[in-house]
Amino acid sequence: MTLISLLFALLIEQLRPLKEDNWLERMMVQWSRWVKDQLDAGQNHHAFLVWTLCVMVPALFAFAMHWLLWSTLGWVVSGLWSIAILYSTLGFRQFSHHFTQIKESLEAGDEEKARVHLAAWQKADTSQLPKREVIRLAIEYSVLAAHQHVFGVLFWFSIGAAVGLGPAAAVVYRMSHLMARVFKEDSNHPSLQDSDHQISAVSDGHWVSETLEHLAYTAWGRIDWMSSRVTALSFAIVGNFEDAIESWRTHASEFPQDNDGVVLAATAGALNLRLGGLALLTPQASSLDESSESALKGGQSTPGKEAETEHLRSVVGLVWRTVVMWFVLLSLLTMARLLG
């Protein structure tokens, strides 16, 4: 049932994708901010309680409905529930149109339009970026989005389904990523610091404690640790394996975030591309420590060819080959389970 659920969820998401700012995500953001506003007081136990409620309540609801439907109405209806949850947690088409717009603009020779699309996607100033940086950033952001919205969800859904959790693990993954992003966005508003509780009171009514922001960021890093490495290994298998593994081993630490660095370094090796260097910091970017920030300012990058327009098609091929590989692997595991 895992394979069928994944297949139908991806097909539906391709035919009728959820919008980037869809009603379900807005509801989850409102839920997390309400819990935060009620319970976050800047202490460790408050932050842990907020994160647990924000992430685990939706996951427990998904798990409970899965088993209720399975026990009362059968596997077909519970499978439909899994498809619905997967459809809401996947986001292939939520970012791919940005990438497509940039690619089409560059292929048409309109660099300025490509910069505008990149700026709209990442909500950052791109007006001074040269063409090669626009291409490189489009590749990096699309690869990370593919991991966070597709392969990470596929990995955790597969693991959760294998141990009887239904779609709950996919919800944990998606909600932990959302919490890290939302609490970081709130902390970036103009704020006044309360030294007693380390609370940021922001101008539009949202606030977040530094303790909660750090906990959400740390929790997301730990949850994404395994899935990011599985994605990197997948890219290596469908790309240039030896170069991808060597780039992963040698250059992953040169990126500001550990998990993102693993994925990007493996991508660079798999496609023989030069990635990294001067960062385009956005409101969604996670906070950098001083060493990471100075490394980025120093322009460190992986070895390989400078990114050109034709490499955008190579990235599309890499992502789709990885999707196919996942389905082939899951098909083989399903057949082995049925025959065994």
pLDDT tens, position by position, 148-188: 999 999 999 999 988 989 899 999 999 999 999 999 888 76
User: pLDDT-based confidence at 277, cuts 50/70/90?
Assistant: low
- In whole angstroms, what is the distance from residue 152 CA to residue 220 CA? 12
Strand ranges across the sheet with 199-202: 191-194, 199-202, 207-209
* Percent over 90 (pLDDT), the chain: 59
pTM of the model: 0.86
Question: Would you say 42 and 201 are in contact if contact means Cβ atoms under 8 Å apart?
Answer: no
Question: Would you say 168 and 154 are in contact if contact means Cβ atoms under 8 Å apart?
Answer: no
- In whole angstroms, what is the distance from residue 318 CA to residue 295 CA? 28
* Residue 263: predicted pLDDT: 96
* CA 51 and chain centroid, separation: 18
CA dihedral 209, 213, 214, 215 (to 10 degrees): 100
* Residue 288: predicted pLDDT: 33
Going from N- to C-terminal start, the domains of the chain cover: 2-339
* Residue 215: predicted pLDDT: 95
* Residue 335: predicted pLDDT: 84
Mean confidence (pLDDT) of the chain: 85
C-alpha Rg value of the chain to the nearest Å: 20
User: pLDDT-based confidence at 75, cuts 50/70/90?
Assistant: confident
| DSSP, residue by residue, 80-133 | HHHHHHHHHH--HHHHHHHHHHHHHHHHTT-HHHHHHHHHHHHTS--TT--HHH
